[in-house]
Each structure stands twice: as C-alpha cells, then as structure tokens.
C-alpha cells in the first residue's frame, strides 16, 4: 500500500479510526435504509444495497431522511455493526448527532469523490490519510 492522499476536513466527532473504505456517491438514509441489527444497506436501488457498513470507514456525500436515523446509528454501535468512522462532503444534523452520541469519528467538508471502496483510510482528528492497494 502507498499513501496517495492526505486530506483535512472539519471535525464533527473527534477521534482516531481506520479501516477499509466503503464509498457511495449517493446519500444514505439510516432510518429504513440500513438494517440496524446487521449493518447491511437495505435501501432498494441504492448502489451499496446488500453491503455491510460494519467496521468500515463509510464515505458518502450526506445523510437523508428521518431524524430517527441518529438513533439507528446509535443502535448500530450498540450492536457492534456500526462503521468505524464516517466521512461526508456535508454532514447534516442527523448523521452528526448519530456520530456524536455513538462516539464514531466523523469528518466533513471533504471531497468524497476522491475515495474508492477498498482504500485503507486512517483518520486522526481532522487529518485523513488514504492508502490504495
């Protein structure tokens, strides 16, 4: 692996995390779009439908849907199937609250098109290091 990018973003929930990237160009609705017991995307027609977010660095432009989504993120964390970290282009309040109450490092104000699923991502505060295999 070699470092291909080092980026900075705005910290929504600080911390350190790393993991394999799971990238979507589409927004994600946690309420109704993600199975809270398994961490699998279940929204019909979503580009990540059938994929698990558990243990991944989840990269997507922004969230969508009901405010209940914050509690779905919390439930994912309690079940052990939450992402290790979240990177957004624009983190709206639903994802921000979910990340904060679930202690999931989250960064936004980042160009999410620079990431590919399978990248290895390390987050430390506002610094994001991307390694490509």
Domain boundaries, the chain: 2-132
Give the three-class secondary structure for 76: helix
Q: 72 to each of 4, 77, 105, 131, how far by Cα in Å?
A: 33, 9, 16, 30
66 assigned to active site: yes
The answer, yes or no, to whether residue 68 has pLDDT greater than 80, is yes
Q: pLDDT tens digits for 2-12?
A: 878 999 999 99
Catalytic residue among 29, 66, 70, 117: 66
Which is nearest to 2 in space by CA: 91, 81, 120? 120
Q: Is the pLDDT of residue 1 over 70?
A: no
Tell me what the pLDDT averaged over the chain comes to.
Answer: 96
- Please state the rounded mean pLDDT for residues 69-88: 98
Confidence of residue 51 (pLDDT cuts 50, 70, 90): very high
- Percent of the chain having pLDDT more than 70? 99
Which residue from 119, 129, 100 is spatially nearest to 11, judged by alpha carbons? Answer: 100
CATH architecture assignment, domain 2-132: 3-Layer(bba) Sandwich (3.50)
What proportion of the chain, given as a percentage, has pLDDT over 90? 94
pLDDT at 20: 98
CA distance 121 to 35: 24
């Amino acid at each position: 692996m070699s470092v291909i990018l080092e980026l900075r973003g705005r910290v929504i929930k600080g911390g350190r995390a790393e993991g394999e990237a799971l990238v979507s160009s589409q927004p994600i609705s946690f309420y109704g779009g993600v199975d809270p017991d398994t961490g699998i995307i279940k929204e019909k027609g979503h580009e990540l439908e059938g994929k698990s977010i558990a243990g991944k660095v989840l990269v997507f432009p922004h969230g969508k849907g009901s405010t209940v989504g914050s509690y779905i993120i919390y439930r994912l964390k309690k079940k052990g199937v939450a992402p290790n970290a979240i990177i957004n282009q624009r983190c709206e309040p639903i994802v921000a609250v979910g990340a904060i109450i679930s202690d999931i490092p989250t960064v936004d104000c980042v160009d999410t098109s620079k990431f590919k699923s399978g990248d290895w991502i390390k987050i430390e505060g506002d610094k994001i290091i991307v390694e490509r295999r």
